[in-house]
């Protein structure tokens, strides 16, 4: 999967069997890796960058089978970003009860962001985990 901004390649993401996602920059250098943690009640993912954990994401179960909720916690600050909605419709990024972005699905995915620059890479990781969870169901 290639992620572009204004037509310029930003990241390439490689999904592997075994719940590992490698994120590469435009030159092919590994930027981060997302791995699925074992032995958790809720599916949990760790985000590693430069040998240290920068985030943790948990998929929460909802009473509505169609509604999904992923909760991402930034390790450095403890800030939480949620991604809520349904796979068939728009999903929304929420931080501090404020909508900071949206994932729209129209023949592909389009991410609209109105967030602080320090949140954008974490939102990208959260989006990739959503893709992994969607295809793992």
* Domain range annotation of the chain: 2-136
Give the model's pLDDT for residue 56: 96
Give the model's pLDDT for residue 32: 93
Give the model's pLDDT for residue 65: 59
Q: What's the CA dihedral at 20, 38, 75, 124 to 10 degrees?
A: 30
CA separation for the pair 104, 82 (Å, rounded):
16
Q: What's the fold here for domain 2-136? A: Porin (2.40.160)
126 and 112 in contact (C-beta within 8 Å)? no
69 and 58 in contact (C-beta within 8 Å)? no
Give the model's pLDDT for residue 96: 93
Burial label, 21 (beta-carbon count in 10 A; 0-12, 13-18, 19+): buried
| pTM as predicted | 0.84
Give the model's pLDDT for residue 57: 94
Give the model's pLDDT for residue 52: 96
70 and 83 in contact (C-beta within 8 Å)? yes
**What is the chain's pLDDT, residue by residue, as a tens digit (137 residues)?**
666 667 666 777 776 756 788 888 888 888 999 998 887 778 899 999 999 999 999 987 666 656 788 999 999 999 999 999 887 778 999 999 999 999 987 777 888 888 888 899 999 999 888 888 877 66
């Amino acid at each position: 999967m290639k992620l572009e901004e204004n037509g310029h390649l930003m990241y390439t993401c490689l999904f592997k069997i075994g719940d590992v996602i490698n994120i590469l920059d435009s030159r092919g250098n590994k930027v981060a890796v997302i791995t699925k943690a074992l032995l958790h009640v809720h599916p949990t993912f760790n985000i590693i960058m430069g040998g240290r954990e920068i985030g943790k994401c948990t998929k929460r179960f909802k009473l509505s089978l169609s509604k999904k909720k992923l909760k991402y916690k930034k390790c450095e600050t403890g800030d939480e970003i949620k991604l809520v909605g349904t796979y068939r419709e728009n999903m929304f990024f929420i931080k501090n009860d404020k909508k900071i972005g949206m994932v729209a699905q129209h023949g592909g995915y389009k991410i609209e962001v109105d967030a602080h620059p320090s949140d954008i890479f974490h939102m990208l990781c959260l989006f990739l985990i959503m893709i992994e969870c969607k295809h793992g169901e």
